[in-house]
Chains A and B, each alone.
Chain A
Amino acid sequence: MVEPASRPVEKSLDSATGLYRVRIISGQYYACSANELVSTVLGSCVSAVFWDAEKGIGGINHFMHPGSCPSDRMRANTPGVAYYGQEAMSELLERMKSLGADCGNLTIKLFGGASLRSEKDDGIGAKNSEFAKKFLSQKGYTVAAADLGGPFPRKIVLNTETGKVMVKRLRSIQRQQIAAQEISVFDPSKR
């Protein structure tokens, strides 16, 4: 049921729009210079959206934990997977750079960090949000827009050509499922 982040991102051609639809899950990040629609579903996790308007390059990550990955071995064993904010942010910036983005000229938006009111909710959503904001301000970036916190999960869709992000709040009917996935997909205490 739970999908590992080490699997490749899901990508399919949408016949209606002729655009590629990409779906990323927690631990994954994605960037591209083509016109694609990248979606992800967030509970207490946070996504940062980076966009270079001039070059038309967009990127998005999806991390579960603030700070950086405590295990060197895990990091080495799962290259390209970033459950922690530190890696999710730095690796996405690197990926953007490698695609030719000017990282001094990025529009940045933040999403997620909800408080899902599940039993295991220990304010992780707020901590993830704080981490993202602090990381960015330390690097000298400003956040153009943010939709963080609240009790609602969100589904966001980034259009990598226009940099526009559609945010859809999700109902309680999906909350428990999203919370359960976020907890079970990766529990550092069990590694």
Chain B
Amino acid sequence: MKITPDEMVASVSNLTTFPAVALRIDRALADENFTVDDIGDILETDPALSVKLLKIANSAYYSRGVEVDSVSRAASVIGSRKVRDIVFTQCATDTFKSFPNDLQSLDDFWNHSLYCAVAAQEIAKQLRYGGDLSLYTAGLLHDIGQLVMFTQYPDESRRALEISINQTDGTSPHLGEIEVFGFDHTAVGASLARQWNFPRALSECIEFHHAPGACSAELATEVAIVHVANSTAVLAELASEEIEDAPEIDPAALGLLGLDTETIVEIAAKARAEVDEMVGVFN
């Protein structure tokens, strides 16, 4: 196929920007002097998001009996990092809501993405990861290239899926994509991430989640987490405790994180329970 990932992304007219509010919050959190008021100020530029966060802060889960009526108060009740995760989730689902395709429902797409987000976050927590990247966000957005691919080139994408089922065991659709397009959804996602000025750590997690050995040395941990979280998410989706049901995990990535397969199975079960609960809240 004679098209590049950049051309594929450029052919989509309604994807030119990612909501600025999400990236501004991400930058603010990376600044060690940030305050919840800074977060509140940024959020207030987006009325729909402000309303959403107020609602969440006043929900049974967070409420302490006192009504929360300002956005910065809401940020303090929910927690700034959690706010960032909520904002990215909302912005991403909004951005792609006009991307229905016949190959995968958006519900199924976001379900896998949420499993991956929660699994990545849990792995980061277990490793006591202290960097700036939200592994939740990286997990959430790791497959965005697939939505562009499926929407813009449905017939070719269908062929790629067929190849992955008929010629292999179906766990690695990206290999079928490479056969049909010459590249896979990670390259499309990376192109989109560049166009959207995503921070480099986030871009590399998207670009290398199927090839963790190929990323920059200083981002090896982040990329390995998303790589492992992707396989964990498949286990969660299939409600399986057999590691063989998941896409193969790069042993080097697993070694780098110091995780064993037993822990991954446990995290998968945890992600499954958490996301099933969360999906209720978001709908």
Give chain A's interface residues, CB within 8 Å of chain B.
Answer: 1, 23, 41, 150, 152, 155, 168-178, 180
Contact = CB atoms under 8 A, between A and B. Distances in A.
Contacts of B108: 172-173, 175-176
Given A170-B170, A173-B104, A41 B111 contact: no
Contacts of B170: 41, 155, 168, 170-171, 174
Interface of B: 102-105, 108, 111-112, 158, 161-162, 164-166, 169-171, 173, 234, 237-240, 245
A171 B237 contact: yes
B102 A168 contact: no
A109 to B, nearest CB: 18
Interface SS of A by simple majority: mixed
Contact of A173 (B112, B166, B169): B112
A79 B161 CA distance: 31
A155 B169 contact: yes
A170 B239 CA distance: 11
Given A168-B170, A172-B111, A177 B245 contact: no
B158 A177 contact: yes
A173 B102 contact: no
A168 B158 contact: no
A174 B245 contact: no
Contact of B102 (A41, A152, A176): A176
Nearest to A166: B169
Contacts of B102: 176, 180
A1 B173 CA distance: 18
Contacts of B173: 173-174
A164 B158 CA distance: 30
Given A155-B170, A168-B245, A169-B245, A174 B240 contact: no
Contacts of A172: 104-105, 108, 111-112, 237
25 contacts: A23-B166, A41-B166, A155-B165, A155-B169, A168-B169, A168-B170, A168-B171, A169-B245, A171-B170, A171-B234, A171-B237, A172-B104, A172-B105, A173-B103, A173-B104, A173-B108, A173-B161, A174-B165, A174-B170, A175-B104, A176-B105, A177-B103, A177-B161, A177-B162, A178-B165
A41 B169 CA distance: 10
Contacts of A171: 112, 170-171, 234, 237-238
Given A174-B165, A177-B158, A178-B165, 15 more contacts: A1-B158, A152-B238, A155-B165, A168-B170, A169-B240, A171-B170, A171-B171, A172-B112, A173-B108, A173-B173, A174-B170, A174-B173, A175-B104, A177-B103, A177-B161
Nearest to A168: B169
Contacts of B234: 171
A1 B154 CA distance: 13
A172 B104 CA distance: 7
Contacts of A174: 161, 164-165, 170, 173
Nearest to B247: A171
A168 B243 CA distance: 11
Contacts of B245: 168-169
B278 to A, nearest CB: 17
Contacts of A170: 165, 170
B104 A176 contact: yes
